[in-house]
A and B are shown apart, each in its own frame.
Chain A
Amino acid sequence: AQKVTQAQTEISVVEKEDVTLDCVYETRDTTYYLFWYKQPPSGELVFLIRRNSFDEQNEISGRYSWNFQKSTSSFNFTITASQVVDSAVYFCALSSNTGNQFYFGTGTSLTVIP
């Protein structure tokens, strides 16, 4: 069975603080894909990153970084020096090797306080 767990329901940080959003996944597939999406208050889903199961290299994109650890089945997302515009709900998602559906976590609502 495929499952994504985002244990943090809501997080509040003060602007310029770093924040890490946790994502733990379950899958029996050896090939799978992990994603993060951002959902701002306007409601759309904005793609942030895709990672396949064979690529455990951490990735940095500006203030965003991702830590993929297969040993703990985690794909955590860190925002450095958070800004008010980072306030959104962030979803982690899992796709199997056959693709088709995404399995989304329940999301983490991040509020950055000015």
Chain B
Amino acid sequence: EPEVTQTPSHQVTQMGQEVILRCVPISNHLYFYWYRQILGQKVEFLVSFYNNEISEKSEIFDDQFSVERPDGSNFTLKIRSTKLEDSAMYFCASNSGSTDTQYFGPGTRLTVL
């Protein structure tokens, strides 16, 4: 069964460093998403991406964040200068239609020291 994959599973970085989180969505899906979950809290939407551009983003997704689909399979989230409060689990999701079920990857746990 196809699934969303994410790498790395755990990333530790120093405050102020740039990180890139990688995702491989399900191959025939067209819509891609990033969410984050601060430990013990709810899952929060960051951004949605379709047709090589951002379709919607939340207030959390400020200028420190960017997304890219550098090739036909990867979908990345870059945090330019990490802050302590960026420590969270980051989930990638994809679906074939914008209102269809979103399938989530296993997440990347980001720890900013």
Contact = CB atoms under 8 A, between A and B. Distances in A.
A102 B45 contact: yes
A97 B106 CA distance: 26
A82 interface: no
B91 A45 contact: yes
Interface stretch (B69-77, B79-87, B95-103): B95-103
A65 B24 CA distance: 32
Contacts of A47: 101-104
B56 A97 contact: no
A104 B44 contact: yes
Given A43-B107, A100-B48, A106 B98 contact: no
A95 interface: yes
**Most chain A C-beta atoms within 10 Å of own C-beta, residue among B35, B42, B45, B100:** B42
A43 B99 contact: no
A42 B58 CA distance: 27
A100 B104 contact: no
A37 B48 CA distance: 19
B99 A99 contact: yes
Interface residues of A, number: 23
The residue in A45, A95, A105 that gathers the most chain B C-beta atoms within 10 A of its C-beta is A45
B41 interface: yes
B101 A35 contact: yes
Contacts of A61: none
Contact of A101 (B41, B56, B107): B56
Interface string A29-49: 000010101000011110100
A99 to B, nearest CB: 3
Contacts of B33: 101-102
Contacts of A45: 43, 91, 104, 107
Interface string B28-58: 0001010100000111110010000001101
B89 interface: yes
Interface of B: 31, 33, 35, 41-45, 48, 55-56, 58, 89, 91, 95, 97-107, 109
Which 8 residue pairs across A and B have the least CB separation, nearest first? A99-B98, A101-B45, A45-B104, A99-B99, A104-B43, A100-B56, A100-B48, A106-B42
